[in-house]
Amino acid sequence: MELTILGTAAAEGWPALFCACDTCKRARAVGGKNLRSRAGVQFGKTHRVDLSPDTWYQEAHLGADMSALEYLFVSHSHDDHWQPHCLAYLRPPFAHANNTPVQVYGNEAVVRTGRAELGAEQTIAVFNEVAPLKPIPAGEMTVTPIVASHKVGEQCLNYLFASEGKNVLCAWDTGLYEDESSWKFVENVRLDCVILECTCGPSKCERYHMDYEHYLAFKERLEKAGSVSSECIFVATHFSHNVGILHDELEQYFSPHGVCVAYDGMKIVL
Ligand SMILES: [Zn+2]
Ligand SMILES: [Zn+2]
Ligand SMILES: [Zn+2]
């Protein structure tokens, strides 16, 4: 299984739009792994999670070819994860694609806004409302949605991707799970890769995102449950510029804990 982490910033990107803070100034000056676009992970050319405002950039500059995209899984309706109007470009003359309709999976808000955006053009994308913990057959993969803990009034989702005997957990926008069924599920699979958010880094965070402490508590809980192998790759992602430190400094914190710090374009082969 091969996947690319395309976007690794929180909602405002990093450097953040319009921001004059020191961390953004430093990120602009240093560049490289400090330039973070909004969320997106792609498995090969056919499966993707989230459609952010930086999707074009990721396709053009990070090699995220979507001309053969078949399945799109959306975590929730916040605009750094869901830009449904992009799907209107699936049809000619905007795209000469042979992959339509794209199957789109998400919660009620994602399905509703997707259908509203495409209006009469429902033939280019099919919107499927998912049920938590109900596995979705998607080509060579099986994808299971899990309830995240993120937004009041909306059931935000994390996803487990399973293929070729490997399991990858995509877990962002979420705090520590509040839904016991989510814990039960992740504690009972054998995880090969966990892509887990750490929006707040060293800053204290309340409930709906994670900080360093939450990240390590999540990791420890999985380790205690025996659901991660010793080779399991832990990745931290979805960072806010308000963490106040750059990529190298995030690495200094995470490396001793056996966690990789994501950057835009990071490839993982399992
Ligand atoms: Zn987000
Ligand atoms: Zn900033
Ligand atoms: Zn969000």
Half-sphere exposure of residue 195: CA atoms within 13 angstroms, side-chain side: 30
Would you state the pLDDT for residue 98?
A: 73
Strand order through the sheet with 191-197:
136-138, 141-147, 157-163, 166-171, 191-197, 228-237, 259-261
Provide Rg for the chain, Cα atoms: 18
Instruction: Determine the distance separating the centroid of ligand 2 and the alpha carbon of 26, expressed in angstroms.
Output: 9
Q: What digits encode the pLDDT tens for the residues 49-89?
A: 999 999 999 999 999 999 999 999 999 999 999 999 999 99
CA torsion through residues 24, 29, 32, 33, sign: negative
> Confidence band (pLDDT; 50, 70, 90) for 119?
confident
Instruction: Determine the distance separating the centroid of ligand 1 and the alpha carbon of 49, expressed in angstroms.
Output: 12
Instruction: Determine the distance separating the centroid of ligand 2 and the alpha carbon of 81, expressed in angstroms.
Output: 20
Instruction: Determine the distance separating the centroid of ligand 3 and the alpha carbon of 10, expressed in angstroms.
Output: 8
Residues with CB under 5 A from ligand 3 (ion): 78, 173
Q: Which ligand is nearest to the CA of 16?
A: 2
Would you state the pLDDT for residue 55?
A: 97
Instruction: Determine the distance separating the centroid of ligand 3 and the alpha carbon of 236, expressed in angstroms.
Output: 16
CA torsion through residues 55, 109, 187, 217, sign: positive
Does residue 232 have a pLDDT over 90? yes
Can you list the domains of the chain with their CATH numbers?
2-269 (3.60.15.10)
Would you state the pLDDT for residue 29?
A: 98
> Confidence band (pLDDT; 50, 70, 90) for 2?
very high
Question: Which residues are CB-neighbours of 152 under 8 A, at least 6 positions away?
Answer: none
Q: How far is CA 181 from CA 117, 175, 177, 256, in A?
A: 33, 15, 9, 30
Does residue 239 have a pLDDT over 80? yes
Would you state the pLDDT for residue 156?
A: 97
Of 229 and 241, the one with more pLDDT: 241
Judging by beta carbons within 10 Å of its beta carbon (0-12, 13-18, 19+), is residue 151 exposed, middle or buried? middle
Residues with CB under 5 A from ligand 2 (ion): 16, 19, 21, 24, 241
**Cα of 48 vs its chain's centroid, Å:** 9
**Cα of 132 vs its chain's centroid, Å:** 17
Question: Which residues are CB-neighbours of 140 under 8 A, at least 6 positions away?
Answer: 163, 164
Mean pLDDT of 205-216: 95
Would you state the pLDDT for residue 180?
A: 96
> CA-CA distance, 189 to 56, in Å (whole number)?
34
Q: What digits encode the pLDDT tens for the residues 9-63?
A: 999 999 999 999 999 999 999 999 999 999 999 999 999 999 999 999 999 999 9
> CA-CA distance, 56 to 13, in Å (whole number)?
14
> CA-CA distance, 37 to 83, in Å (whole number)?
14
